[in-house]
């Protein structure tokens, strides 16, 4: 289980106006909610939050959130970002309760180089990059490793074949393809100029005489 720490302070004022004031002061408005608590408005340091998000998988990391000195174990449930600026607008935290299972999405990491790629020039394609699971917060994995070394061209790995720790319930469809080793694409052959000329349709034969020739014929 991956964990990280982050500081926050409570904010009594909510709404668009106070949120804009916070952002102008280098802070990010946030909220924490949970099974046994009322939603509480928070303020986060924008730089501290940005540095944290650069080094963690946000949805799969338990955040030990210090709110005015009181620690709460949380998961980030939503991050709202500006559509074109590098700015985080709002963050939602869910407080974790002991014994209460949570649903999270875990990144999938392919391990090794497949035989099909190494020996036959195949291409490794990974259609599925996250796995949705449900488990106790104490056993949330930071990522799922998938060994691909034995995959040959035409072979694939599906969700149902993954081996996970006891207590983890997989919610993603068992038939979903995690990765597949595909055959290399054949290079298109260049068309030779002679062949192109031979294949080109012949121009229709000119049946009508030129206008000058027609006039000459009429004068005879």
Residue 81 lies in a domain: yes
In a domain, 199, yes or no: no
Q: Using one digit for the tens of pLDDT, what is the confidence trace for 146-197?
A: 999 999 999 999 999 999 999 999 999 999 999 999 998 763 333 445 544 4
pLDDT digit string, tens, across residues 125-145: 999 999 999 999 889 998 999
Tell me the two tokens of residue 19: 């949120």
End-of-domain residue from the set 80, 97, 114: 97
Overall pTM surpassing 0.95 (yes/no)? no
Provide the CATH number for the domain around residue 136.
2.170.120.20
Q: Which residues contact 71 (CB under 8 A, 6 or more apart)?
A: 64, 65
Determine how β-strand 130-135 pairs with β-strand 88-95.
unpaired
Average pLDDT of span 7-13: 88
Confidence band for 199, pLDDT divided at 50, 70 and 90: low
- Domain limit, last residue, from 38, 71, 97: 97
Q: What whole-number percentage of the chain has pLDDT above 90?
A: 67
């Amino acid at each position: 289980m991956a964990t990280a720490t982050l500081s926050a302070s409570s904010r009594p004022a909510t709404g668009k106006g106070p949120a804009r004031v916070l952002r102008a002061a280098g802070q990010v408005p946030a909220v924490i909610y949970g099974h046994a608590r009322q939603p509480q408005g928070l303020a986060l340091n924008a730089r501290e939050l940005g540095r944290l998000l650069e080094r963690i998988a946000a949805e799969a990391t338990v955040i030990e959130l210090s709110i005015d000195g009181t620690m709460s174990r949380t998961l980030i449930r939503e991050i709202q970002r500006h559509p074109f600026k590098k700015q985080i607008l709002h963050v939602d935290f869910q407080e974790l309760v002991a014994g209460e299972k949570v649903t999270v999405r875990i990144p999938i990491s392919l391990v090794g180089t497949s035989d099909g790629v190494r020996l036959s020039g195949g291409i490794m394609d990974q259609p599925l990059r996250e796995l949705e699971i449900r488990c106790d917060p104490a056993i949330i994995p930071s990522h799922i490793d998938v060994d691909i070394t034995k995959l040959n061209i035409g072979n694939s790995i599906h969700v149902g074949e993954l081996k996970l720790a006891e207590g983890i319930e997989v919610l993603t469809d068992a038939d979903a393809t995690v990765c597949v080793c595909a055959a290399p694409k054949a290079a298109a052959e260049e068309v030779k100029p002679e062949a192109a000329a031979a294949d080109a349709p012949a121009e229709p034969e000119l049946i009508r005489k030129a206008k000058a020739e027609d006039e000459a014929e009429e004068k005879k």
